[in-house]
Amino acid sequence: MGDFEATDRMHPSTQTSTCPAHTGGATAEDERATALARRPISRRRALQLGARGAGAAATLGLVGALAWQPRRVAQARAVALPDVQFDIGNYIAPAQTMDGVLVRFGPVFTTFTTLALRRTPTKADQHTLAHALETIEAHYAFNPSGVFTFVAYGIPYFKRLPGGMHGPLVARYMPRLLADHGRYALEEAIPAPTDVHPANPGIAKKTFTVPVRIEANDLLLTLRSDVPGNILDVLLWLRGSDRLNGRRVPSPAFAGLFHVTSSRIMFQQNGLPRLLADSVGLPYARTINPQSPMWMGFADQQVSGAGPASIVTFQGNASARFTTARAGDYFANGAIQHLSHDIQDLAQFYANPDEPFTERCQYMFRSNPIPATGNADQFANGGGPAFLENVFQGTDDALRNAEGLNTFGGEHRMGHLPALQRSSRAQDGTPVHIRMDGAGYDNLDVPDGSNQPKLQFTAFVPTGDFFNTMRKNQASLDLVEKYGVAEEDNGLERFITATRRQNFLVPPRQRRAFPLLELA
């Protein structure tokens, strides 16, 4: 941000709609919007972001040249911006049906900028940050054509407050687990059971054996927009450009308060991964579904796959509540935001003839029953449909798949979704998470320094414990061992290498600038 230096699936209420393909019949207004979205990002502007940010800007430029500005159906503007920072449903277009599946997409581009503090912020810094965030929203509309801004805080930030993480200030206001009042809602991420880590001896990946790092960032800044230049403009203004949306606006005087620890780009648009794969000549490009917004060929934006914003807040809703927070509490409309960085081994995932569509479909979904068997050609253009429903078949669905009961081919299988659903739903079946993941393409943490497809993953959940449990169930090593599920049949685990993880607290909008500092 100003004076900083570089160093080292969603619910209808929280997502936006994207057109399925760049089709004919575009109006002059559509064409102007697309030209704006594709406006080149100059090398000079990219370099202004420093060593970490330049790579992110390069990815924005590369993907931005292939993306198009979605034609969105406007919705009525809400009276006030949402207190739940990520509840952007009143500012976006409604869901749409794709091949019979109701889906809703976020803005095409998202950046995740992690930041470390050089010193403990003051109340003056709190005012400066609050004013900076308000200034961004005064110059860019709070919608996909403008910029959405979210701010979240890691445990290192709370440790800086008087008394630290367990001092009287944090202890008074931090929500606690309903099931154990001795534990905070904010707990640090832990290595997942299939992450490469000393805690998991024997776990290795075929291609990318990179140990996971539990990060220790103070802040996470998330920016979302259909227009990549808008995101870059905001980042440069925070860095000190003194220009915002074409106007001279003094940049915030943070006096070297922050430094950037990483900058990551996520993109999400139907067909964009395939366009990028063709553009850069990835060897498995022809196998990627040309309609999918995700590298692995299956859409991950089903409306049925995530809950409403209220269910993941600390105060919860009628379906579920996991913390001691009540309406009116300091952090009531806050939540936990998990951020991870994942390298995807697509060469292995699309290996011909070992991984036909029927196999990939079972890894992502389930074997009892398999949602689709695909085309006669199991590899060309994905080999089958990109849009399949996210069906909940009970918390014991993973067990039945592991046991091999009525599975496709009679095999013992573990599907990604049934494994998650062991703990990801409320008693009434409502999902208790909001995924906000998408594709990435960069060289961050890649051993040989090459650009590789990534899963840029973030999710909003009510507690750190909830996410850690859900991720443990995603691996389901207990069922794998008990029922003899072969390693190659255990969902997506062997195709993904998580290299970074951290949990953050995303406070309510009214508390988003250095929370609790005004009470210190």
pLDDT tens for 469-507 read 999 999 999 999 999 999 999 999 999 999 999 999 999
SS (H, E, C) 452-513: EEEEEEEEEECCHHHHHHHHHHHHCHHHHHHHCCCHHHECCHHHEEEEEEEEEEECCHHHCC
Angle at 233 between CA 228 and CA 234, to 5 degrees: 105
Q: How far apart are CA 159 and CA 147, in angstroms?
A: 30
| 41: pLDDT strictly greater than 70 | no
* HEC secondary structure over 101-151: EEECECCCEEEEEEEEECCCCCHHHHHHHHHHHHHHHHHCCCCCCCCEEEE
Query: What is the rounded CA–CA span in Å between residue 312 and residue 320?
Result: 9
Average pLDDT over residues 31-37: 48
What pLDDT is recorded for position 46?
53
Provide the pLDDT confidence category of residue 8 given band limits of 50, 70 and 90: very low
Rounded CA-CA distance 371/368 in Å is 8
**pLDDT reading at 263 higher than 90:** yes
Tokens of 312: 């993941």
Distance CA 170, CA 147 (A): 31
* Number of domains making up the chain: 1
Cα distance between residue 190 and residue 176, in whole Å: 18
Band of pLDDT at residue 53, cut at 50, 70 and 90 = low
pLDDT, tens digit (0-9, with 9 covering 90-100), for 453-479: 999 999 999 999 999 999 999 999 999
Residue 262's SS3 state is: strand
Tokens 């034609």 map to which residue?
Answer: 71
What would the pLDDT profile of 371-391 be if each residue is shown by its tens digit? 999 999 999 999 999 999 999
Res 90: pLDDT:
79
């990939």: which residue's tokens?
A: 360
Q: Where are the beta strands (DSSP E) in 174-333?
A: 176-177, 180-184, 213-214, 219-225, 243-244, 247-248, 258-267
The parent domain of residue 304 ranges over 5-23+31-519
pTM above 0.85, yes or no: yes
> In sequence order, which residues have a C-beta less than 8 Å from that of residue 311 and are 6 or more positions away?
317, 319, 320, 426, 430, 431, 432, 462
User: Mean pLDDT across the stretch 169-192?
Assistant: 98
3-state helix, strand, coil in the chain (%, to 5): 30, 20, 50
Beta bridge partners of 151: 221
Residue 1 has pLDDT above 60, yes or no: no
Query: For the segment 74-103, what is each residue's pLDDT rounded down to a tens digit?
Result: 655 556 899 999 999 878 878 999 999 999
Average model confidence (pLDDT) across the chain: 91
Structure tokens at 161: 């407050």
Short-list 9, 23, 11, 22, CA closest to 95: 11
CB contact set of 175 (below 8 Å; sequence gap of 6+): 184, 185, 314, 323, 324, 325, 329, 331, 334
CA distance 6 to 460: 27
CA distances (Å), origin 307, targets 177, 423, 428: 20, 14, 12
Strand 247-248 vs strand 243-244: parallel, antiparallel, or unpaired? antiparallel
The reply to whether omega before 107 is within 30° of 0 (cis) is no
What share of the chain in percent tops pLDDT 70?
88
H or E element, residue 153 = strand 148-154
The residue count of the chain comes to 520
